[in-house]
C-alpha cells in the first residue's frame, strides 16, 4: 500500500504536466461587434439563416422609444449568418458561416445604408429606405437581467 500511493501521485503529476491539446473552434471568428450591444435576433427558418441586430447606446435607446429618430446618432449593424448544427447539443442550431453585414448610420441628414457580402448569394435591397425602416422597426429583445 505504501508503494501504490507514491506511484499514483507520480502518475497524476505526469499526466497533469503534459501539453494540453487545443480544442477546435465550432466556427471561424468572422465578425467583431466593436463594443456594440445586441438589440435583437431575427430567425429565418425558410432561408436557414439567423440575423443579429447590433447597435450603439443611442440605437438601443431609439429602439426602446425613448428618443425620436431625428435627434439620434444611432448606428445599427445587422449581421446575417447561415444556421449550423450544434454538435454539442442535439437538435439546436448556432451561428455558422457569415453571409452579410448591413450597416445603418443615422447620424447624418439622411440614413447612410451599406451592405457587405461575404459567403452568401448576392443581395441588394430593392429599396434602401424600406430596408432602413425594417432595421429601425425591429422589436428589441427583452433580457431577464437587463444590464443597460
**Tens digit of each residue's pLDDT (9 = 90 or more) over 10-51:** 777 777 666 666 655 566 667 878 889 899 999 998 988 999
Cα–Cα distances in Å, from 20 out to 15, 24, 37? 10, 12, 34
pLDDT tens for each residue of 49-98: 999 999 988 888 877 775 555 557 889 999 999 888 877 788 788 888 88
Place of cell 428618443: 67
CB of 71 closer than 8 Å to CB of 106: no
Cα–Cα dist 88/61, whole Å:
36
End-to-end Cα spacing for the chain: 60
Identify the helix (H) or strand (E) that includes residue 16: helix 4-16
Provide the grid cell at 79.
Answer: 449581421
Q: pTM of the entire structure?
A: 0.72
Amino acid at each position: 500500500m505504501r508503494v501504490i500511493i507514491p506511484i499514483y501521485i507520480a502518475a497524476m503529476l505526469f499526466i497533469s504536466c503534459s501539453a494540453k491539446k487545443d480544442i477546435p473552434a465550432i466556427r471561424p471568428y468572422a465578425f467583431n461587434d466593436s463594443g456594440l450591444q445586441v438589440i435583437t435576433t431575427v430567425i429565418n427558418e425558410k432561408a436557414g439563416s439567423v440575423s443579429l441586430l447590433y447597435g450603439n447606446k443611442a440605437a438601443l435607446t431609439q429602439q426602446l422609444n425613448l428618443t425620436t429618430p431625428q435627434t439620434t446618432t444611432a448606428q445599427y449593424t445587422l449581421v446575417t449568418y447561415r444556421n449550423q448544427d450544434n454538435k454539442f447539443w442535439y437538435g439546436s442550431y448556432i451561428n455558422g458561416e457569415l453571409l452579410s453585414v448591413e450597416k445603418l448610420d443615422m447620424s447624418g441628414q439622411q440614413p447612410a445604408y451599406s451592405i457587405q457580402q461575404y459567403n452568401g448569394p448576392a443581395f441588394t435591397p430593392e429599396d434602401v429606405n424600406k430596408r432602413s425602416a425594417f432595421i429601425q422597426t425591429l422589436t428589441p429583445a427583452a433580457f431577464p437581467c437587463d444590464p443597460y
